[in-house]
């Protein structure tokens, strides 16, 4: 795909927990697509307290990719914390993130670039989820719950394939340390009047490592974080 437009600068980051086997190919893909769509770029791995060789793998890759940075959490803090760290660490005009599990084709980021003049937030939605029927069912329930509370109404709230104007996402005060983080920032962006462009992306089965999104503790934390924010917003409105 030939692009007439390039981004002035782009930060790509990946929240990772025990993704040592996925990172080499992930970084190689990111390096290739970033060079094609941005005048300058940086790649960031946010290691959320991994217990495998993730950190060692990234440090080794830094010899090959000088624009690759590693940001570490000494202990596992959760998906939301990893995203917040990634947003804070990013230095360039646009920020893109995808999960470290290699379930997306990063080349599809090229389809987002033509929309950057008209939108500050461009988010992917999975054409078809690759994790199986139970995970898809849980995701639909969570989406219904979020839409009931916050009326975000996007096609795929938790799709980890999102591009932001840096100043837009960095302007938000975020509190979620867990799975609710995507719902939180989409809701707060919507409250600011920011429009979203939604584009389809393919989703592929995980080849290496173990998913954590279906963990019961992760799900419960996402549900309770959503309820806490909802009650906080309601009480704030009632106090006016």
Q: Using an 8 Å Cβ cutoff, are 124 and 156 in contact?
A: yes
The predicted-structure confidence for 9-46, as pLDDT tens digits, reads as follows 999 999 999 999 999 999 999 999 999 999 999 999 99
Backbone angles phi, psi at 161, to 5 degrees: -150, 85
State the average pLDDT over residues 168-193. Answer: 92
3-state SS, residue 197 = strand
The predicted-structure confidence for 80-132, as pLDDT tens digits, reads as follows 999 999 999 999 999 999 999 999 999 999 999 999 999 999 999 999 876 66
Alpha helix locations (H) across the chain? 23-37, 54-61, 79-89, 133-150, 166-170, 181-191, 216-238
More confident residue, 43 or 175: 43
Cα separation, 232 vs 175, whole angstroms:
12
Enter the pTM of the model: 0.87
Q: Which CATH architecture has domain 7-238?
A: Alpha-Beta Complex (3.90)
Supply the DSSP symbol for 171: T
The answer to whether residue 48 scores a pLDDT higher than 90 is yes
State the average pLDDT over residues 58-73. Answer: 98
pLDDT given at position 2? 46
3-state SS, residue 58 = helix
């Amino acid at each position: 795909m030939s692009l007439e437009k390039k981004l002035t600068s782009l930060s790509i980051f990946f929240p990772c927990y025990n993704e040592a086997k996925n990172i080499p190919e992930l970084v190689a893909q990111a390096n290739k697509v970033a060079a094609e769509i941005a005048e300058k770029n940086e790649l960031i791995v946010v290691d959320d307290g991994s217990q495998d060789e993730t950190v060692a793998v990234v440090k080794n890759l830094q010899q090959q990719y000088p624009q690759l940075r590693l940001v570490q959490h000494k202990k596992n803090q959760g998906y939301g914390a990893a995203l917040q760290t990634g947003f804070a660490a990013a230095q360039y005009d646009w920020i893109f993130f995808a999960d470290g599990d290699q379930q997306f084709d990063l080349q599809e980021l090229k389809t987002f670039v033509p929309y950057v003049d008209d939108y500050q937030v461009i988010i992917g939605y999975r054409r078809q989820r690759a994790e199986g029927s139970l995970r898809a069912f849980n995701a639909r329930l969570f989406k219904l719950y979020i839409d009931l509370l916050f009326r975000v109404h996007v096609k795929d709230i938790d799709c980890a394939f999102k591009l932001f104007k840096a100043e837009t996402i960095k302007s938000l005060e975020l509190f979620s340390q867990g799975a609710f983080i995507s719902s939180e920032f989409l809701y707060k962006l919507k409250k600011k009047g920011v429009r979203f462009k939604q584009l389809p992306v393919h989703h592929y089965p995980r080849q290496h490592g173990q998913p954590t999104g279906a963990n019961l503790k992760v799900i419960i934390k996402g549900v309770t974080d959503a309820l806490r924010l909802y009650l906080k917003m309601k009480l704030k409105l009632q106090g006016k």
